[in-house]
């Protein structure tokens, strides 16, 4: 008998960030006092001036289909943002706006990767990278970065991983889940390696651009010698606290932008007209002058410091200092082989399930991000929640012998 579903569904893993969030929610509906540090989304609301633009859009009847790649004036606003924030020159023809950066990433991978093509992915990586590559029937080539080198890969590692089958390198700075931020020099030396291979492309996921505690964001596209091999992915979900609005975008060489437009035109068309009008207001405002954004980033930095401090008190939780995004990714392999009654901890998933089942703290196993020794904390939540969560975790792990 034939399988009901297509093979691609069996090959695909469920998004672990969304799965842990779902499990946490289920326990909450059963009345359990769950603290969720699983989903990566700001706990702040979208700034008022952006919401006002959306209300205005409704009143002005922006309720129809839009151009597939987004309204022309939105794509102009994206170009304006690239010039203002990154000193990058793009034209609207280089821009495709999508239903979140997740769709932007999928569009680009589906546009570039043929079955069997290799895609280099530094680990740890964001959960959906490996699965989007599977959808394109590409072959992910993972290159490890561990806590000792701040979860960053070296140019030599990239050089060693490139073969004649390499098509794409997926890069993410600031990084989810490690919080690593690559410096200009680090990006430049990786770009110099890739520039030697003109048919290899870098997808540079810069969605956490504005959540950076060490200064200016550095984009791969800033180096002219590599710019036509770079596709920048960005969006409004994180920096502007707009996860539910579903708005991401790319800046790419024209031919790649056209390919993404073609794919998107057959799958979703343009993203919500109202979100697009709101995005124009968001992108036209200088982030350095938007108080809501500054307050949010300051709060994230304080919470990061608090969480790092609190985690120092848990034996066997080894952390580095994440310089961006809103995650801490401790190595917890110290607990492997230990148990408490029926709970045996052999991997990061076991530890996450143990903490969820016994003390109702939802985290995400590092295995979902390609590093089975770690677990991910999202600190996009209140300080009180962080203090209480760490207190519970400390108690729960103290029973593991
Ligand atoms: N890239 C990274 C690294 C992320 O963490 C996320 C999480 N939301 C995305 C892309 C996708 O963002 P969205 O679809 O909400 O724009
Ligand atoms: N990117 C967020 C996270 O890593 C949101 C969840 C998702 O889309 O996977 O938690």
Residue 245 sits in a domain whose CATH number is 3.40.640.10
* Together in a domain, 349 and 392: yes
Confidence of residue 260 (pLDDT cuts 50, 70, 90): very high
Average pLDDT over residues 176-198: 98
pLDDT surpassing 90 at residue 41: yes
* Together in a domain, 130 and 250: yes
Confidence of residue 251 (pLDDT cuts 50, 70, 90): very high
Q: Does residue 59 lie in a domain region? A: no
Unique residue bearing structure tokens 């979860």: 151
Confidence of residue 365 (pLDDT cuts 50, 70, 90): very high
Contact by Cβ (8 Å): 189, 136 = no
User: What atom of ligand 1 comes closest to residue 243's alpha carbon?
Assistant: 15
Average pLDDT over residues 357-364: 96
Contact by Cβ (8 Å): 128, 15 = yes
Domain CATH for 322: 3.90.1150.10
Q: Does residue 2 lie in a domain region? A: no
Which of 43, 126, 365 has most ligand 2 atoms within 8 Å of its beta carbon, as the pocket-test mutant? 126
State the Rg of the chain over Cα. Answer: 21
Confidence of residue 16 (pLDDT cuts 50, 70, 90): confident
pLDDT for the residue numbered 381: 95
**Which ligand sits nearest to residue 98's alpha carbon?**
1
pLDDT for the residue numbered 267: 97
pLDDT for the residue numbered 151: 97
* Together in a domain, 80 and 141: yes
Confidence of residue 15 (pLDDT cuts 50, 70, 90): confident
Residue 54: its H or E element: helix 48-59
Average pLDDT over residues 156-185: 98
Q: What percent of the chain has pLDDT over 90?
A: 96
Ligand 1 centre from 49 Cα, in Å? 23
Q: State which residues form the domain around 13.
A: 7-45+291-397
Which residues lie closer than 8 Å to 329 by C-beta, 6 or more apart?
A: 124, 147, 151, 177, 178, 179, 319, 320, 322, 366, 369, 371, 374, 375, 376, 377
pLDDT surpassing 90 at residue 223: yes
* Together in a domain, 163 and 278: yes
Average pLDDT over residues 103-109: 98
* Together in a domain, 23 and 167: no
Boundary residue ending a domain (250, 285, 320): 285
Q: What percent of the chain has pLDDT over 70?
A: 100
Boundary residue ending a domain (235, 253, 285): 285
Q: Does residue 255 lie in a domain region? A: yes
Cβ(124) to ligand 1 under 6 A?
Answer: no
Ligand 2 centre from 116 Cα, in Å? 27
Q: Does residue 53 lie in a domain region? A: no
* Together in a domain, 304 and 281: no
Q: Does residue 92 lie in a domain region? A: yes
Boundary residue ending a domain (285, 305, 340): 285
Average pLDDT over residues 66-81: 98
CA dist 381 and 362 (Å) reads 12
Q: Does residue 377 lie in a domain region? A: yes
Residue 327: its H or E element: strand 327-328
Confidence of residue 286 (pLDDT cuts 50, 70, 90): very high
**Which ligand sits nearest to residue 125's alpha carbon?**
1
* Together in a domain, 202 and 80: yes
User: What atom of ligand 1 comes closest to residue 325's alpha carbon?
Assistant: 5
User: What atom of ligand 1 comes closest to residue 248's alpha carbon?
Assistant: 16
User: What atom of ligand 2 comes closest to residue 100's alpha carbon?
Assistant: 8
Q: Does residue 57 lie in a domain region? A: no
* Together in a domain, 301 and 154: no
* Together in a domain, 255 and 346: no
User: What atom of ligand 1 comes closest to residue 99's alpha carbon?
Assistant: 14
pLDDT for the residue numbered 14: 84
Q: Does residue 51 lie in a domain region? A: no
* Together in a domain, 106 and 145: yes
* Together in a domain, 154 and 272: yes
Counted domains in the chain: 2
* Together in a domain, 174 and 113: yes
- Tokens representing residue 232 in the block: 């920048």
The residue count of the chain comes to 401
Cβ(177) to ligand 1 under 6 A?
Answer: no
Cβ(178) to ligand 1 under 6 A?
Answer: no
Average pLDDT over residues 137-162: 96
Ligand 2 centre from 256 Cα, in Å? 25
pLDDT surpassing 90 at residue 87: yes
């Amino acid at each position: 008998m034939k399988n009901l579903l297509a093979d691609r569904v069996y090959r695909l893993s469920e998004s672990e960030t969304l799965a842990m969030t779902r499990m946490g929610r289920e326990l909450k509906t059963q009345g359990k006092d769950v603290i969720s540090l699983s989903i990566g989304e700001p706990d702040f609301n979208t700034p008022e001036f952006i919401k006002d633009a959306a209300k205005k859009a409704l009143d002005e009847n922006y309720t129809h289909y839009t151009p597939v790649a987004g309204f022309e004036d939105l794509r102009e606003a994206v170009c304006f943002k690239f010039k203002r924030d990154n000193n990058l020159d793009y034209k609207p023809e280089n821009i495709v706006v999508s239903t979140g950066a997740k769709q932007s990433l999928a569009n680009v991978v589906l546009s570039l990767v043929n079955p069997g093509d290799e895609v280099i992915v530094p680990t740890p990586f964001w959960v959906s990278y490996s699965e989007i590559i599977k959808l394109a029937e590409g072959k992910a080539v993972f290159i490890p970065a561990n806590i000792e080198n701040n979860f960053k890969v070296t140019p030599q590692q990239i050089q060693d991983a490139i073969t004649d089958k390499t098509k794409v390198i997926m890069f993410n700075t600031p990084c989810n889940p490690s919080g690593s931020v690559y410096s200009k020099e680090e990006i430049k030396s990786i770009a110099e390696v890739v520039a030697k291979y003109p048919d290899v492309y870098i997808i540079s996921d810069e969605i956490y651009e504005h959540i950076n505690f060490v200064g200016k964001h550095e984009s791969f596209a800033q180096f002219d010698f590599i710019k036509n091999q770079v596709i920048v992915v960005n969006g409004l979900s994180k920096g502007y606290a707009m996860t539910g609005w579903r708005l991401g975008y790319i800046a790419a060489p024209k031919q790649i932008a056209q390919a993404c437009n073609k794919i998107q035109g057959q799958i979703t068309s343009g993203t919500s007209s109202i979100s697009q009008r709101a995005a124009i207001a968001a992108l036209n405002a200088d982030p350095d002058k938007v108080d809501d954004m500054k307050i949010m980033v300051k709060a994230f930095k304080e919470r990061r410091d608090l969480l790092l401090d609190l985690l120092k008190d848990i034996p066997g939780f080894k952390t580095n200092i994440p310089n961006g995004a809103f995650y801490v990714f401790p190595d917890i392999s110290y607990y492997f082989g230990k148990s408490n009654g029926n709970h045996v901890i052999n991997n990061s998933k076991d530890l996450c399930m143990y903490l969820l089942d016994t003390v109702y703290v939802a985290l995400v196993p590092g295995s979902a991000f390609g590093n089975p020794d770690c677990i991910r904390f999202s600190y996009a939540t209140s300080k009180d929640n962080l203090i209480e969560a760490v207190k519970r975790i400390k108690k729960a792990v103290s029973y593991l012998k």
